[in-house]
Amino acid sequence: MHQARLAFGERVLFDDLSLSLPASSWSCLLGRSGCGKSSLLRMMAGLSVSNDAHLTLIDASQRPLEQRIAWMGQQDLLLPWRRVIDNVQLGAVMRGERSDPDRAMALLEKTGLGWAARCYPQTLSGGERARVALARTLYEQAALVLMDEPFAALDAMTRLDIHAQACELLSDRIVLMVTHDPLEALRLGDQLLVMRGSPARLERILPPEGAPPRDPASATMSHHHGVLLKALTEQAA
Ligand SMILES: Nc1ncnc2c1ncn2[C@@H]1O[C@H](COP(=O)(O)OP(=O)(O)OP(=O)(O)O)[C@@H](O)[C@H]1O
């Protein structure tokens, strides 16, 4: 991503922001409330945010990425009148494409929800619904997956489970996730980015050693947690 700019009137949130997202990697974007994280993600998804907003999004071969993006937000946006398996295939249906129930079923099984394929979303728990949303995101086969606090509504234990599952199932994608939870970022991130300053810049923080999903109880985690919290609370230079 190059030359990202966002302003609302006189207020410039960021200008000339660049970001490189390596193949098969998970990047976590953190920053104080209101610094522009969600707006940046929405712009990357091609959504209109402001009249004074632009960015260039290209892959390593300089090709535009716009048509190869999937989105997972805090709300699962499952349609209550469609069964779980139909919700997984929703993107294809909405685009008027032929859907693939066998692939949808295989993804549900991978997320441990094969048994729920014929259920309606309102009969599932919050964690189960989040896993359906994850299966729907995977169904898109997108190169870039943008996630805006996708696990924020889940309890701590469910979150740990879904982290491990998401990490494995999204390992071949480029993931950029906005999160308010430093521990979640330290658990999942290959790259940690803190957005701060005015206009905002992106500061890279070294993640803990080892491959995600990292053990939140490990000895090095609390050290990295401290470093990340400091970066989040310090005023930008
Ligand atoms: N249409 C708009 N007009 C004016 N200001 C806006 C508009 N949309 C967003 N903003 C402002 O832009 C700033 C960035 O919003 P954004 O939602 O991107 O922040 P964020 O970093 O994701 O915050 P949070 O962590 O609280 O979700 C906020 O101060 C918000 O009020």
CB of residue 74 inside a 6 A radius of ligand 1: no
Identify whether residues 154 and 127 lie together within a single domain.
Answer: no
Comparing CA positions, the residue from 96, 105, 11, 91 lying closest to residue 53 is: 11
State pLDDT tens for residues 146-168.
999 999 989 999 999 999 999 99
CB of residue 8 inside a 6 A radius of ligand 1: yes
Q: Give yes or no for residue 67 having a pLDDT over 90.
A: no
Distance of alpha carbon 141 from alpha carbon 172, whole angstroms: 10
Last residue of a domain, one of 90, 122, 141: 141
Classify 14 as helix, strand or coil: strand
Ligand 1 center to residue 39 CA distance, Å? 6
Comparing CA positions, the residue from 32, 19, 14, 22 lying closest to residue 189 is: 22
Identify whether residues 62 and 16 lie together within a single domain.
Answer: yes
Ligand 1 center to residue 145 CA distance, Å? 21
- For residue 210, is it within any domain? yes
Q: Where are the alpha helices (DSSP H) in the chain?
A: 37-44, 84-88, 90-94, 101-110, 126-139, 156-169, 182-188, 219-233
Identify whether residues 7 and 63 lie together within a single domain.
Answer: yes
Which pLDDT score is estimated for 62? 85
Q: Give yes or no for residue 66 having a pLDDT over 90.
A: no
Comparing CA positions, the residue from 42, 63, 44 lying closest to residue 55 is: 44
- Rounded mean pLDDT, 35-43: 96
- For residue 196, is it within any domain? yes
Domain membership of residue 53 as a residue range: 2-68+142-233
Whether pTM > 0.90 for this model: the answer is yes
Last residue of a domain, one of 141, 163, 190: 141
- For residue 73, is it within any domain? no
Classify 190 as helix, strand or coil: coil
Residues 53/57/63/65 CA torsion (nearest 10 deg): -100
Identify whether residues 118 and 151 lie together within a single domain.
Answer: no
Ligand 1 center to residue 72 CA distance, Å? 18
Contact 26, 212 (CB under 8 A): yes
Identify whether residues 34 and 19 lie together within a single domain.
Answer: yes
Q: What percent of the chain has pLDDT over 90?
A: 89
Ligand 1 center to residue 119 CA distance, Å? 36
Asked if this assembly's ipTM is beyond 0.85, the reply is yes
Identify whether residues 212 and 151 lie together within a single domain.
Answer: yes
Which pLDDT score is estimated for 237? 52
**Residue 59 pLDDT level (bands cut at 50, 70, 90):** confident
Identify whether residues 157 and 205 lie together within a single domain.
Answer: yes
State pLDDT tens for residues 159-194.
999 999 999 999 999 999 999 999 999 999 999 999
Identify whether residues 89 and 203 lie together within a single domain.
Answer: no
To test the ligand 1 pocket, which listed residue (12, 37, 41) has its Cβ within 8 A of the most ligand atoms?
A: 37
Last residue of a domain, one of 90, 117, 141: 141
- How many domains in the chain? 2
> What is the 3-state secondary structure of 48-96?
CCCCEEEEECECCCCCECCCCEEEECCCCCCCCCCCHHHHHCHHHHHCC
**Residue 63 pLDDT level (bands cut at 50, 70, 90):** confident
Distance of alpha carbon 227 from alpha carbon 207, whole angstroms: 10
Identify whether residues 104 and 120 lie together within a single domain.
Answer: yes
CB of residue 42 inside a 6 A radius of ligand 1: no
User: How does DSSP classify residue 20?
Assistant: -
- For residue 204, is it within any domain? yes
CB of residue 25 inside a 6 A radius of ligand 1: no
Of all atoms in ligand 1, which is nearest to the CA of residue 180? 25
CATH number of residue 155's parent domain: 3.40.50.300
Identify whether residues 113 and 134 lie together within a single domain.
Answer: yes
Identify whether residues 21 and 9 lie together within a single domain.
Answer: yes
Burial of 64 (C-beta count, 10 Å sphere; 0-12/13-18/19+): exposed
CB of residue 89 inside a 6 A radius of ligand 1: no
Whole-number Cα distances in Å, 93 to 88, 101, 111, 113, 149:
10, 11, 21, 21, 25
**Residue 235 pLDDT level (bands cut at 50, 70, 90):** low
What is the sign, positive or negative, of the torsion defined by CA atoms of 161, 162, 168, 171?
negative
CB of residue 73 inside a 6 A radius of ligand 1: no
